[in-house]
Amino acid sequence: MKITRIDTFILHVPVTRSQIADSTHQVTHWGAPGCIIHTDAGIFGTGYSGTHGHLPTDRLITDCIEHTFGPLLAGEDPHAVQHLWRKLAHFPPAQWVGRGGITHLALGAIDIALWDIKAKAAGLPLWQLLGGSDSKIIQAYNTDGGWLNWSLADLVADCRRLVEEEGYSGVKIKVGSPNPTDDLRRIEAVREAIGPAVKLMVDANGRWDVTTALSLGHRFADFDIFWFEEPIWYDDLPGHAELARKLATPIALGEQLYSLDNFRDFIRAGAVHFVQPDVVRLAGITEWWQAADLAYAHRLPVVSHIGDMMQVHLHLAIAHPACTMLEYIPWLRRCFVEPATVRNGYFVAPQQPGAGTTLKDSALNEFNVRN
Ligand code: 0YR
Ligand code: MG
């Protein structure tokens, strides 16, 4: 099989209630810049990254796919994913301008498309190609009820609905309000609404300094917080290590780490308890798997960051032994031929061959903003 052509797209898909916010980002559309890789066998693969729907930066990613990496893939056998990953990741001109960020996001989209082709050619869902079994149970936790721009009343009502009506046994809410006592009030109200048996996670999206994170973090134990996510600036390794040592609540991070080397450093420093690699921040499935193995070797649980890439992450969670839980964010579901689905709080194993990334034609017509 040979690669014959690569098309790119940029989807901008509206988020829940037209806008969501955490302590750092305001998002109206989820962005999915990506590519469709065609082969001479008639099989095509789809892959994409995840962004906050900003067209000028999304274009940097699709330009990198088309003009930097595209020519390196022409005529190659898509089955040789590991070989192609190394070829692209270590292409000197690209490596020179970015071993993380845009070039990595572009490579991630390509790598996912290649694995999609490989699984389709084998006639298997990706989780099965990777050796997983659908007897494995993946618990879903919901992040689409906890946004920081929602009033306390809306927040509580939504978390209660997710638990009581939709059957979730875990919810994550955002913290990092201008006044930290507001955060404590929100946490207390949500804990009271959902009861003691449901997992409650908090996510500060890198907002605080070590001092604030320590004083707030000490209070979290009162509300049985399952993990404290991105308490401080993403790259502050010693700061996270200090919090991990001093707080009773476990630390979660990984959505802003771009490489296997980053994960190695945080894990070796004891700075993370729940490891959250993101297949579209790391350079695809190939590097995600390396990071997940690394975590597994340290007996750390892997709970992928979704950023609305449930599709691929679900396949990976089923297949990888370090995963038992996955985040649920529904924004892109309408775009897929076989969207990731939760029933009674647990994910359903996808059945179609591929990585789950095949888009409906209607999604490309409706949401593609690349012209
Ligand atoms: C919205 N998940 C996160 C979303 C998400 C962000 O800004 O992108 O909250 O990436 O922290 O855990
Ligand atoms: Mg987060």
* Residue 261 within a domain: yes
Which pLDDT score is estimated for 269? 98
Q: Are both 174 and 144 inside the same structural domain?
A: yes
pLDDT classification of 87: cutoffs 50, 70, 90: very high
Return the DSSP state at 57. Answer: H
Q: pLDDT (tens digit, 9 = 90+) per residue, 208-227?
A: 999 999 999 999 999 999 99
Query: Ligand 1: which residue has its CA nearest to atom 9?
Result: 22
CA of 23 to the centre of ligand 1 (A): 9
Q: Are both 171 and 274 inside the same structural domain?
A: yes
pLDDT classification of 90: cutoffs 50, 70, 90: very high
Q: pLDDT (tens digit, 9 = 90+) per residue, 148-179?
A: 999 999 999 999 999 999 999 999 999 999 99
Residue 92 CA: distances (Å) to CA of 60, 245, 252, 328: 18, 39, 33, 37
Residue whose structure tokens are 């798997």:
289
Closest alpha carbon to 74 in 164, 154, 160, 5: 5
For 350, half-sphere exposure in the C-beta direction (CA atoms, 13 angstrom radius) is: 31
Contact 225, 202 (CB under 8 A): yes
Mean pLDDT for the chain overall: 96
Residues with CB under 5 A from ligand 2 (ion): 203, 229
The 3-state DSSP class for residue 49 equals coil
Residue environment code for 7-41, b if the CB has 16+ CB neighbours within 10 A, otherwise e: bbbbbbbebeeeebebbeeebebbbbbbbbbbbee
Task: Using most ligand atoms within 8 A of CB, pick from 17, 20, 25, 278 the residue to mutate for ligand 1.
Answer: 25
Joined together, the tokens standing for residue 161 give 């609905």
Q: For the domain that residue 89 is a member of, what is the CATH number?
A: 3.30.390.10
Share of the chain above pLDDT 70, in %: 100
Q: Are both 61 and 116 inside the same structural domain?
A: yes
DSSP 265-327: HHHHTT--SEE---TTTTTHHHHHHHHHHHHHHTT--B----TT-HHHHHHHHHH-TT--EEE
Is residue 307 lining ligand 1, measured as CB closer than 6 Å? yes
Query: Ligand 1: which residue has its CA nearest to atom 4?
Result: 307
- Tell me which residue range forms the domain holding 342: 129-347
* Residue 171 within a domain: yes
Q: Are both 176 and 215 inside the same structural domain?
A: yes
The 3-state DSSP class for residue 63 equals helix
Measured in whole angstroms, the distance separating CA 356 from the mean position of its chain's CA atoms is 15
Q: Are both 83 and 162 inside the same structural domain?
A: no
Which pLDDT score is estimated for 341? 95
Contact 331, 15 (CB under 8 A): yes
* Residue 352 within a domain: no
What's the CA angle centered on 279, arms 275 and 285, to 5 degrees?
110
**Pick the residue with more confidence: 17 or 347?**
347
Which pLDDT score is estimated for 15? 92
Is residue 255 lining ligand 1, measured as CB closer than 6 Å? yes
Q: Are both 141 and 247 inside the same structural domain?
A: yes
* Residue 354 within a domain: no
pLDDT classification of 309: cutoffs 50, 70, 90: confident
State the DSSP H helix or E strand holding residue 10, giving kind and residue range, or none if neither.
strand 3-14
Q: For the domain that residue 213 is a member of, what is the CATH number?
A: 3.20.20.120
Joined together, the tokens standing for residue 2 give 């040979």
* Residue 301 within a domain: yes
* Residue 353 within a domain: no
* Residue 326 within a domain: yes
Q: Is the pLDDT of residue 371 over 80?
A: no
Count structural domains, the chain. 2
Q: Are both 99 and 156 inside the same structural domain?
A: no
Q: Is the pLDDT of residue 134 over 90?
A: yes
Q: Would you tell me how many other CB atoms lie within 10 Å of the CB of residue 177?
A: 16
In angstroms, the CA 197 to CA 250 distance is 18
Q: Are both 199 and 293 inside the same structural domain?
A: yes
Judge residue 337's burial from the number of C-beta atoms within 10 Å of its C-beta, 0-12 exposed, 13-18 middle, 19 or more buried.
middle
What's the CA angle centered on 119, arms 359 and 33, to 5 degrees?
35
* Residue 142 within a domain: yes
Q: Are both 166 and 215 inside the same structural domain?
A: yes
Q: Are both 57 and 145 inside the same structural domain?
A: no
How many secondary structure helices (H) and strands (E) does the chain include?
A: 14, 14
Q: Are both 101 and 76 inside the same structural domain?
A: yes
Which pLDDT score is estimated for 144? 87
Query: Ligand 1: which residue has its CA nearest to atom 8?
Result: 307
Q: Are both 282 and 149 inside the same structural domain?
A: yes
Contact 292, 300 (CB under 8 A): no
